Amino acid sequence: MLIITIKQGKEKSLLAGEPWIYASAIDKVDGKPNEKMKGGATAIVQSSSTKFLARAAYNSKSQIRARVWTFDEAQPVDHALIKGRVQAALVKSAPAAKKAKPDQVVKLVNAEADGLPGLVVESFGGKHGYLVCEFQAAGVDAWKVAIVQALIAGTGCNNVYERCDDLVRKGEGLPLVAGALAGEEPPDEVIVSEGGVKFSLDLKSGHRNRFR
């Protein structure tokens, strides 16, 4: 297990609930070399006086060196936590998903706001449509399989696609990958309605091509 020690005085933001830990706030990182190089490895975050502060996903290749999973010392970072966070996010977004028309895009998971730092999930077409995921941080990238399983179980949608934001993933030192994680890939173009306006959308890239 990695141990991140925060510089004296830099723990204030964590104590206030800030989930990001920048490189400039870290005094040292203790642990095996292979763990330090493994993107998304779970680390214990402690103060300069060794007081527990959080458990976080560590990424040596990002300026945001760690993203907090939990401030609760008794809560492990495991499949149960990831599954529970996905389920809670789906429950929170359920009212919007139920109201959505078949040609509307709905955000189901909203990264830090849902306790899943760097994960954004959108739905198009409901249960028989597509889930489009962006894994924008090493922590959620490391838990990709568990996240996809929880999404399928929670939504009943079997088509899950990974969208790649090249700029973000390069900044995180993550490989540039995109493609179907389960089921079928979405079509190259769908017609989406937003605010009474229809436009074409490439679900794979997120680009809006032209208004109609």
- CB-count burial class (<10 Å; 0-12, 13-18, 19+) for 158: middle
Above 70 in pLDDT, residue 211? no
Average pLDDT for 173-181: 97
Q: Which of 4-13, 30-39, 52-61, 114-123 has the lowest mean pLDDT?
A: 30-39
| CA 102 to each of CA 10, 82, 179, 204: distance values in angstroms, whole numbers, following the listed order | 47, 28, 23, 18
Longest alpha-carbon distance in the chain: 61
| Predicted local distance difference test score (pLDDT) of residue 207 | 86
Query: Phi and psi at residue 55, in whole multiples of 5°?
Result: -115, 135
pLDDT in the model for residue 91? 98
pLDDT bucket at 188, cuts 50 / 70 / 90: confident
Q: Hey, how many other C-beta atoms are within 10 angstroms of the C-beta on 8?
A: 10
Neighbours of 89 (CB within 10 A): 24
d(CA 30, CA 77): 19
As a whole number of angstroms, the distance between CA 100 and CA 63 comes to: 37
Q: Is the pLDDT assigned to residue 17 strictly greater than 70?
A: yes
Q: Is the CB of residue 129 less than 8 Å from the CB of residue 157? A: yes
The dihedral region occupied by 17, where left means phi > 0, alpha psi between -120 and 50, and beta the remainder, is: left
Cα–Cα distance measured from residue 43 to residue 36, given in angstroms and rounded to the nearest whole number:
9
Domains and CATH numbers, the chain: 2-70 (2.30.130.10), 79-211 (3.30.750.80)
Model confidence at 33: pLDDT above 70: yes
Give the β-pairing of 41-46 and 2-6.
parallel
